Structures are given as C-alpha cells and as structure tokens.
Amino acid sequence: MTTNLGIDNAMYGAVALNDTTRAAVATTTLSPRFYTTDFAAMDAMSVEPVRAEWDALIAELASDLNRKHFTRDKGLGWDLDIEGLSPALRAEFLDFLVSSLTAEFSGCVLYAEMKKRGKNPDLQALFKYMSRDEARHAGFINDCLRDFGVQVDMGFLVKAKKYTYFSPKFILYATYLSEKIGYARYITIFRHLEAHPERRFHPIFKWFEEWCNDEYRHGEALALLMRADPGLLSGLNLLWVRFFQVAVFSTMFLRDHRRPEMHAALGLEPEAYGMAVFRITSEISKQVFPLLVDVEAPAFLEGLRAMQRLDVELTAARAGGGAANWARARLIQARMAKAFVSLLLLPAKKNPLPASTRLAPSW
C-alpha cells in the first residue's frame, strides 16, 4: 500500500550465497507511509446485513488454511538458480520482489493499525487476520531477497513519521481492488507456468497458487463490508467505484510494461497478461460493483496504450534532466492526466448485484 522503496546499492551481481553465509551485499530501505482514518466511522460499520456470510468467512480466516504453506520445504522444490539469471532479468526481478514486499509490508502496517485503533470486534477480527497474512507474505519475500544478498533496512522506525488521512470508504475501494487484482495476477502467472514450466525462472512462482487465495479471501471480506452498506455502492460513490477500477488497471498496465525482461523470461506479453488479469478482476468484482469498467471495449485498451506510450516519453524526459526536460515532463504528465480522464469517461457497464456476495476462486 505504499511507495518508495528502491535498492540503494545496485549490486545486482550478487552471487548465490548459501544459507549460513547469506551476508547482505545491498540494502533496500523500507519507507512505508502511515495512514490514519476516521476510526469512529469504521467502528460504526455493521456487518449485520451480511452476518451469515461474514461469520463463515471469518471462521475460514481463523482456521488459517495457509499456515503451513509459506515454508520452502513443503515438497514444491526450491530449485533456485541465481547464476542462470541475466543481470537485466535479475534487476527487474529484484525490483518486482521489492515492490511486492512493500505492498505486503504496508498492508500489514495499515491493517494492524486499524485493528489496534478500532473498537468494532467484527472488523478487528478481520484486520488481525489480514495483517497476519501480509506479515507472513512479507517474510517469505524477504527471504527471497536474502538469497540475492539484499537486506531490508528499517531505519524509518526512528525517523519522524507523518500520518496522512485516508477515508474509510477509499480504504475499502482501494484495498478490495488491490487484493482482487493481486489474486488475478498471481493465479494468471501460476496457470501460465503450469503450462510452460520451462519458463519458471524462480521457485517463488510455485507458491503463488495457495498464496493468492489469501488475497482472494481478504477481498471477499472487503466486498462484504461494502455490500453491507449500500450507500457505498450508489449515487455519487459510483464515480469513485469507476475511478478506482481505472486507477488500479492503468497502474498495473504501466508498471508491468516497465519490466520487459521479466515478462519476456516468463513468456508473458505485458499487454495480453494485463488484459487477462483485468478480465478476471472485472468478473470477480461483479460481486460488489454495480458499475463496471468495460474492459472489452476497444477504446479501453487504446486508452491504456496511449497512457503507456506517454509513460515511456515521461521516463525519457525525466532521465534527460535540465529545464527543458522538466517542462517536457510536465507537459507529458498533463497529457497523461487527460488520457486517464478519457478512460474514466468511457461508458461503463451496469451490473445487477447478485443476492449472495461470496464467490469461489475458480480461476
């Protein structure tokens, strides 16, 4: 859920280190953002309208199905070959691990904060389990970074932390979509590698199948919370529903295109992969959103392509430096904002909500 984590010391050429001698040759600074929200409004949320589905889901989270999943010796085979990775692939893959780690870590901090500060026992139970899962995922990714000799730096703990504000409904829209798109991303990669095992360049992908069910379950809970309060899914809030779908989809599209080596190694084409993920996410979100971005509309993909082309120009302008490039970057950003708004304004599809919210992860 937060940003700004980069490998400080770009020693990607780290050799494979065995478990006892895995010394850090590079560090990556964790700098999460800290959020506060309207805890009174959170406490006032009631799950009574969806009580039966809610209790079943909390029981599932409590049973902790993935408790034993995140270990290396669970029979999946940890066949890591760092030497086999080209430097460019290694750099992109590390960047991928680091941004995944940040997302998990920040989710953990945000959910723990909501558990701590909230007083609503239903929500506290949920956030406790969500925080547990994210911390576990972060630990697993952290260990993969250690294979490469990259160590996380938690210096932020003793730096002044400024708390910014994020309203409860935005937390729901944004986290729901990020959990569900996280599921769709992981399951799409996993299924692809099932069919093309020779493309699996790192063992972590073998863990994705059960891993993504954690994200899926979190998303289910957030869907129930929104369904319990129809006000969140009607009127002006529908604009936000659309906004977050477009924001999440376009963000993923741009970021994946910035990792060409990794996608080439996996044998995935970022555009086709993105569209497959958007279709799954959109299909899942029929459980909760009365208005869906039409991912099949040709104009949708064209809009994303336009943003992506501008993103390439923007990267070039920023790399160039100097006043002229600074001005150019501003101009490109304005054009990107315009392209984003055009995506927002595309006709959306009405979606009559199903009586029951819960949906099985069948992808």
Partner 1 sequence: MVHVSHRFEELSAHVELLDGVEVGPGDSVLVHGARIDVPFGEVRVERRRATVVHAGWLERAWTRLTGDLDCLSLLEIELNEGNAS
Please give the residue ranges that form the binding site for partner 1 (CB under 8 A): 1-4, 30, 33-36, 70, 101, 105, 108-109, 112, 116-117, 131, 135-136, 138-143, 146, 152, 154-155, 157-167, 170, 174, 247-248, 250-251, 254-255, 311, 314, 333, 336-337, 340
Residues 6+ apart with CB under 8 A from 112: 127, 131
Which CB sits closer to partner 1, 167 or 234?
167
3-class secondary structure, 156: helix
CB of 104 to partner 1, least distance (A): 8
Which CB sits closer to partner 1, 278 or 340?
340
What residue type is assigned to position 348 of the chain? Answer: A
Which CB sits closer to partner 1, 333 or 356?
333
d(Cα 243, Cα 174) in Å, to the nearest integer? 10
CB of 51 to partner 1, least distance (A): 30
Name the nearest CA neighbour of 47 among 226, 240, 185.
226
CB of 86 to partner 1, least distance (A): 26
Which CB sits closer to partner 1, 165 or 231?
165
DSSP assignment of 223-267: HHHHHT-GGGGSTTHHHHHHHHHHHHHHHHHHHHHT-HHHHHHHT
CB of 144 to partner 1, least distance (A): 11
CB of 27 to partner 1, least distance (A): 10
CB of 74 to partner 1, least distance (A): 13
CA distances to 250, 276, 293, 351 from 346, rounded to whole Å, are 14, 20, 8, 16
CB of 88 to partner 1, least distance (A): 22
CB of 199 to partner 1, least distance (A): 27
CB of 30 to partner 1, least distance (A): 8
Which CB sits closer to partner 1, 111 or 273?
111
Long-range own/partner contacts, residues 280-284 (CB < 8 A, 24 or more apart)? 280/183, 280/184, 280/187, 280/188, 280/363, 281/177, 281/180, 281/181, 281/184, 281/248, 281/249, 282/245, 284/180, 284/183, 284/184, 284/219, 284/359
Which CB sits closer to partner 1, 52 or 160?
160
- Of the chain, the end-to-end C-alpha distance in Å amounts to 25
Which CB sits closer to partner 1, 85 or 138?
138
Which CB sits closer to partner 1, 1 or 280?
1
* In the block, residue with structure tokens 């547990």: 132
Name the nearest CA neighbour of 128 among 140, 111, 107.
111
Which CB sits closer to partner 1, 56 or 62?
62
Q: In the numeric block, which tokens belong to residue 325?
A: 């490039």
The continuous run of DSSP H or E covering 291 comes out as: strand 291-293
Between CA 66 and CA 72, with CA 68 as vertex, the angle to 5 degrees is 115
Q: What count of residues does the chain have?
A: 363
3-class secondary structure, 348: strand
